[in-house]
Amino acid sequence: MGVRIVRKPYYGIEEVCRRWEISEADLAGFVIEREITLSIVVASLLVEIGTIEEVDDKNWCSIPEERRHLSGALDLHPVNAWSILTEGSQVINSFKAAGDGYISIEGREYENGELHVVRSQLIVRHAELVRFEAAQDQTAAPVAAVAPGAPVVLNGRGAPAKYKWDDFYCALAVMTHADGVPETQTELIRRMMDWFAKQNLYPDPTTVKRKVAIFWRQYHEAIAHNPA
């Protein structure tokens, strides 16, 4: 008797549309509204990885950190994924990255640093599929009628927070003590986004950035007042 596969690393577009009983047009709506992220699989693709930092008002600078070959699923920017899904193909030159990071295709290996992607290459990562379905379950959950302006209470203790930010700050403190404080705030944000991802949790990067910024500011203020 063969082993039944119950989990795959990623799923094709036709497969997820059948699973959710939606059309590709419906899926495109979720994509452009940033409710779901589509990806493609690459093999030994040379990319440049770095951060985008604000130099002054309305001026931004790309700061390369490393070049390396990546293999596996890489996330697409919403507008690129939407164009591929609705138009059948799109030329891309970068991928979605966490926080203020960027991942761009290195031009030395691909002409002009571009890659032609077609609809059949689109996939949904397993973790993204689970996250999206959980979000749909929460949206569909019945909500008891309450008076306008009244707080929502569950078992008399209030609605639980989706993300445990106390645990987040504890993990932040432990990691910075064990591994040290990185050179850039962007790297610290990436660490914490990875910490969430290992738990199949995907909070808004802007929220994580704001909370890390509080720690970052207070840490460096303390260092300035108490130099070693």
Query: Average pLDDT for residues 129-155, to the nearest whole number?
Result: 62
Query: What is the per-residue pLDDT for 108?
Result: 54
CA–CA gap between residue 228 and residue 226 (Å, rounded): 6
- pLDDT tens across 64-96, in order? 888 999 999 999 999 999 999 999 999 999 999
Which residue intervals of the chain are DSSP H helices? 13-20, 24-32, 78-87, 126-140, 165-179, 185-197, 205-225
Q: pLDDT tens for residues 178-209?
A: 888 888 888 888 888 888 888 888 887 878 88
Per-residue pLDDT band for 112 (boundaries 50, 70, 90) equals: low
- CB neighbours of 139 closer than 8 A, spacing ≥ 6? none
CA dihedral of residues 178, 209, 95, 43 (deg, nearest 10)? 20
pTM: 0.59
What pLDDT score was predicted for residue 162? 65
Residue for token pair 């929220």: 207
Confidence at 144, pLDDT banded by 50, 70, 90: very low
Answer whether 84's CB lies under 8 Å from 76's CB. Answer: yes
Of residues 12, 223, 193, 220, the one with CA closest to residue 101: 193
Confidence of residue 155 (pLDDT cuts 50, 70, 90): very low
- As a 3-state breakdown, the chain gives helix, strand, coil percent values, each rounded to 5, of 45, 25, 35
